[in-house]
Amino acid sequence: LPAGLSQWFPALEVLDVSGTGLAELGAELLALPHLHTLLAKNNRLGGPGSLPKGLGQAPLGRSLRVLNLSGNRFAEVPPALLGLRALQSLSLGGNRLHGIPPDIQELRSLEFLYLGGNFITSIPPELANLPSLSYLVLCDNKIQSIPPQLAQLHSLRSLSLHNNLLTYLPREILNLVHLEELSLRGNPLVVRFVRDLTYNPPSLQELAGRTIKTRNVPYAPSDLPENLVRYLSLASNCPNPKCGGVYFDSCVRQIKFVDFCGKYRLPLMHYLCSPECSSPCSSASQSSTSQSESDSEDEASVAARRMQKVLLG
């Protein structure tokens, strides 16, 4: 940065030096008392001396609200940044970070934290001590688990965790009542969930078997080979009262909430003959289904849609 910057532009509020090949930010920045936004992404910052000393104690440390250092070469979150107590937005995406320091909790004013595209393997519980954090981006890392303490982030509205190594979520995450966006695609837990719920189209043999069963086409053991007679005996009735169809190998799995002793509702897996049978309108009961079963079907459909929306991001 040019010497005398603070003398030439004493009232400077926004500075963008992105993509300029900078390897360090000079001490001239420290004397800019009104600078609230500093953008220095896509440079060569990250080595010793990349940031000026005394950053947190300088006038800049009290005025800076937005700092973007994405696309640089930082292997760790620079300790100098942890003194920026007024910082509201910090972006360090696309660097070489392998962890998040517990002292991140010192940035008490932080509302937006972007750490996507690094090599982070774990999340420190101390991250939950940021009372104003609303947007947390940790996508495209190597994170394997979520600490239950994150449920204390009561201001959190968006949590991006896609393309990590998550195999489960802590139950406490349900306490994030203000959460509006949760992105989990590209994690083992979602890949497994989607694979398990994949609907494979019926084979020609199954289509023929369904036709024979649903239309009551008569047949005798002498009319068909023994293996086909055995196959036709394995038909299962679709539980959707409006369908009346059957299935053999190809079916749709769905969660159904069933009353237990009139006190609890248990999530049980049941099987439908096609995806159409899982829609609320087609699975609503008629005279053959009790009102409690109808409520269970509707709740199951809503729960399934919510689950898919959350997991698929």
pLDDT in tens, 46-90: 998 899 888 888 888 889 999 999 999 999 999 999 989 899 999
Question: Do residues 57 and 183 both lie within one domain?
Answer: yes
Instruction: Yes or no: say if 81 and 45 are a contact pair by the CB < 8 Å rule.
Output: no
Confidence of residue 257 (pLDDT cuts 50, 70, 90): low
Closest Cα to residue 196, out of 271, 264, 267? 271
Question: Do residues 75 and 117 both lie within one domain?
Answer: yes
Question: Do residues 73 and 116 both lie within one domain?
Answer: yes
Residue ranges of alpha helices (H) inside 181-290 are 188-196, 204-214, 226-232, 280-283
Interval 88-102 mean pLDDT: 97
**Hey, which of 124-138, 164-178, 247-261, 290-304 has the most confident mean pLDDT?**
124-138
Question: Do residues 96 and 226 both lie within one domain?
Answer: no
CA–CA distance, 282 with 44 (Å, rounded to integer): 59
Bridge partners for 183 per DSSP = 160
Domain region containing 27 = 5-187
CA angle 152–154–160, rounded 5-degree value: 90
Q: Tell me, what amino acid is at 71?
A: G
The per-residue pLDDT for 305 is 43
92-106, 118-132, 216-230, 270-284, range with the lowest pLDDT: 270-284
Domain containing residue 160: CATH number: 3.80.10.10
The per-residue pLDDT for 199 is 66
pLDDT digit string (tens) for 133-168? 999 999 999 999 999 999 999 999 999 999 999 988
Asked if residue 282 belongs to a domain, the reply is no
Asked if residue 155 belongs to a domain, the reply is yes
The per-residue pLDDT for 299 is 41
Question: Do residues 266 and 149 both lie within one domain?
Answer: no
What DSSP string describes 261-302? TTTEEEEEEEEESSGGGGSHHHH---TTS-HHHHHHHHHHHH
Instruction: Yes or no: say if 118 and 141 are a contact pair by the CB < 8 Å rule.
Output: yes
Question: Do residues 115 and 76 both lie within one domain?
Answer: yes
pLDDT digit string (tens) for 166-217? 988 888 887 888 888 888 888 887 766 555 556 678 888 989 999 999 999 9
CA–CA distance, 81 with 69 (Å, rounded to integer): 11
Bridge partners for 158 per DSSP = 135, 181
CA angle 306–289–254, rounded 5-degree value: 30
